[in-house]
Structure 1
Amino acid sequence: MVLPLQEVLLPDRIADLTGLGQFGALGEFVAAFLAAFVIANLMLAMSGVAGPWAKRKITAAFTDRIAVNRIGPFGLLIIPAAAVQLLAKELIIPEGVDRPAYDLAPLVIASSAMLGFAVIPMGSGIHLADPETGLVVVFAIASIASLGLATAGYASNNKYSMLGGLRAVAQNVAYEIPLIVTAASVVIFAGTLQMSEIVAVQAEPLFSVAGVSIPSWYAFVNPFAFVLFMAANLAEVGRNPFDVPEAPTEIVAGYQTEYSSVYFVLIYLGEFLHIFLGGAIVTTLFLGGPAGPVLPGIVWFIIKIWAIFLFTQWARSALPRVRIDQLIEIGWKGMLVLSFANLVLTAIIVGVFIA
């Protein structure tokens, strides 16, 4: 069956436009590589802007300070300047580290976030893969980052790094379960794990006000689940009040204390890639994905994930850090209970009123 143009996956579209499809499996591989290259560079470009420049500008605006404004217009040239500065620094390997675990950890942290975008529908035909279990795939891939954080902490041969790695594992376990359970409530509404179908269901009108149709975004349908997911997502991406694994005033910089140069760049890049991946998941599950009026889908998708990035930076500036014992208690005694309550309530509503 031939899919409508908007549902054709990016590798297939590239294969058709370039004629690579006629070369069989090799052509399909090259088309898939080119599609992955496009998506990877889009995410890397946004993370490159977010880390050295946008993060500082947003934090300065929230805290009434002046951020970077000397290097280039609006300080934008700080982006290449910071990249050159960090990559030019000497890569220092402390004594007693566990290699190759020390070397692999930054790669795992960055690549796990990058791989997650493979199944995210970004609109305008930018969608790399659309498996029927897409939601499971993206959570499975994103959770690999926990392994990288724990490995970085253990392999660094530093007690503060080790504490940061242990905190990261404890935090991710405590908040990944509420995150997945809350996402399961969306699956109950949508009746599918396929990311494109979850987006398509939200395109249906929920109700109309003065002739304007309000879409069935699950943020409107189930705002309680949306708030739960956003809170758990803050913990997953390590933003206040849940930035305990890095906690500079307590454990130097946690799991990344002993990393420098290109390794530090990979960890720092992975942090922002995970923030955007979290925003992409929130957008897909609760905000209609790339849907929106007038503008192309990819533009709406980028606007939405940047809005979520703005929220995480507001949280970083406005909310105080909780203690590690408070963090675990909030996760296991608060978020977990609320997420299961939301799941049960959703199942009752769908079973009784919708089915």
Structure 2
Amino acid sequence: MTLSDTIAGLLGLNANDPLQFFIAAIIASAIVGTFMLVNVAIAGPWAKRKITAAFTDRIAVNRIGPFGLMIIVADAVRLLSKELIVPEKVDRPAWDLAPLIIAGSALFGFAVIPMGSGVQVADPEVGLAYVFAVASLASIGLVMAGYASNNKYSMLGGLRAVAQNLAYEIPLVLTGVSVVLFAGTLRMSEIVAAQTETLVTIAGIGIPSWYAFVNPFAFVLFLVANLAEVGRNPFDTPEAPTEIVAGYQTEYSSVYFVLMYLGEFIHIFLGGAIITTIFLGGPTGPVLPGIVWFLIKIWAVFLFTQWARSALPRVRIDQLIEIGWKGMLVLSFANLVLTAIIVGVIA
């Protein structure tokens, strides 16, 4: 039973009536969206700084509120109160829509992610295909932002972003398809259910059949491709402050900059949610509730992305594209073929 069904039952709505079920789905979406936005609000202004400071032996935010947590509120007030500066000769409709597309595309992806027992807005048969499709819409927003800003650095950032996403999105999807071959389904809840068995028992400890253990090569490929998709080192060339100021987001300020920044972190958490679902058993785990395990796993992925940001040097754009097309694409096809052979032999 999905969260939409549960809410419909609690409110006495008829789940078979399209309008009433739509109301329940909107409420469920608002709950899940708010839940993820709270995590992003903690991660962006506060956790990112604390984690980076720990990696680089520096002191992070610690003055505003306990542990510096009130920096979240201070940053929100500071950024939202700034003047929204609109550069001359921008393509205004595209310039206005780009931040909304970048942030919204990631939020739509959480609709099919199982976060715990009954905590899932919808569970369509094509769940994994849906989440890849809506996440890829961010590429349109990045190109729109770069083109519409009427700034050569923004334009370069937008071109880099779409080139990077094309180079790494194909390996990302192909690696996801290898999981589908194992699970035999695109439905997210069934992919999670397929990972609940015990893979092997060592010294009395059962190792779960998470696809990260079943196919660690695919797991590593997906992690690397995900870093490129969310623009974390060594794949942050679309923003590259030492080369192109801030890339596609150079001309954005005030609430629009907040949306761009928010979109970046929502996509990081969506990437973590996808990795958690298809490789790390989703919300399954001992003792603790499923939603707690889900949070632990997506925050672990976030921690990995922040480690990469602090530890790995940026690669040049030509190197980045070469890694994607000549390295990741070949390896992802090899992984897909090998997985098909293994599944065929076992079946």
- TM exceeding 0.5: yes
Give the match for residue 195 of structure 2. Answer: 202
Q: Matches of residues 1-355 of structure 1 in structure 2 within 5 Å?
A: 8-21=1-14, 24-352=17-345, 354-355=346-347
Alpha-carbon displacement from aligned partner over 1:253-304 (angstroms, at most 9, x marks no partner) = 0000000000000000000000000000000110000000001101100110
2:92 is paired with a residue of what secondary structure?
Answer: coil
2:207 is paired with a residue of what secondary structure?
Answer: strand
How many Å separate the matches in 2 of 1:240 and 1:207? Answer: 35
The AA in structure 2 aligned to 1:42 is F
How many Å separate the matches in 1 of 2:191 and 2:18? Answer: 30
The Cα shift of 1:210 comes to 2.8
Question: Identity of aligned pairs, percent?
Answer: 78
The AA in structure 1 aligned to 2:273 is A
Judged with a 3 Å threshold, the aligned counterparts in structure 2 of structure 1 residues 74 and 25 are, in CA distance, closer, same or farther, namely: same
The Cα shift of 1:212 comes to 2.5
C-alpha contact (below 8 Å) 2:5/2:15 kept by paired residues: no
The AA in structure 1 aligned to 2:339 is T
Give the match for residue 3 of structure 1. Answer: none
The Cα shift of 1:23 comes to 9.2
Give the match for residue 4 of structure 1. Answer: none
2:251 is paired with a residue of what secondary structure?
Answer: coil
How many Å separate the matches in 1 of 2:16 and 2:83? Answer: 45
Judged with a 3 Å threshold, the aligned counterparts in structure 2 of structure 1 residues 186 and 23 are, in CA distance, closer, same or farther, namely: closer
1:20 is paired with a residue of what secondary structure?
Answer: coil
Alpha-carbon displacement from aligned partner over 1:199-220 (angstroms, at most 9, x marks no partner) = 0000011111233321110000
The Cα shift of 1:169 comes to 0.2
C-alpha contact (below 8 Å) 2:40/2:265 kept by paired residues: yes
Which stretch shifts more, 31-40 or 16-25? Answer: 16-25
Q: Unaligned stretches of 5+ in structure 2?
A: none
Residue correspondences, number = 347
How many Å separate the matches in 2 of 1:337 and 1:210? Answer: 38
The Cα shift of 1:126 comes to 0.7
The Cα shift of 1:22 comes to 7.6
How many Å separate the matches in 2 of 1:22 and 1:186? Answer: 32
1:232 is paired with a residue of what secondary structure?
Answer: helix
Alpha-carbon displacement from aligned partner over 1:121-152 (angstroms, at most 9, x marks no partner) = 11131101111111100000000000000000
Judged with a 3 Å threshold, the aligned counterparts in structure 2 of structure 1 residues 141 and 23 are, in CA distance, closer, same or farther, namely: closer
The AA in structure 1 aligned to 2:213 is F
**TM-score, scaled to structure 2:** 0.99
C-alpha contact (below 8 Å) 2:115/2:282 kept by paired residues: yes
1:95 is paired with a residue of what secondary structure?
Answer: coil
How many Å separate the matches in 2 of 1:22 and 1:260? Answer: 43
1:100 is paired with a residue of what secondary structure?
Answer: helix
The AA in structure 1 aligned to 2:215 is N
How many Å separate the matches in 1 of 2:213 and 2:15? Answer: 45
Judged with a 3 Å threshold, the aligned counterparts in structure 2 of structure 1 residues 216 and 253 are, in CA distance, closer, same or farther, namely: same
The Cα shift of 1:222 comes to 0.3
RMSD over aligned Cα atoms? 0.9
1:241 is paired with a residue of what secondary structure?
Answer: coil
How many Å separate the matches in 1 of 2:344 and 2:224? Answer: 27
The AA in structure 2 aligned to 1:138 is V
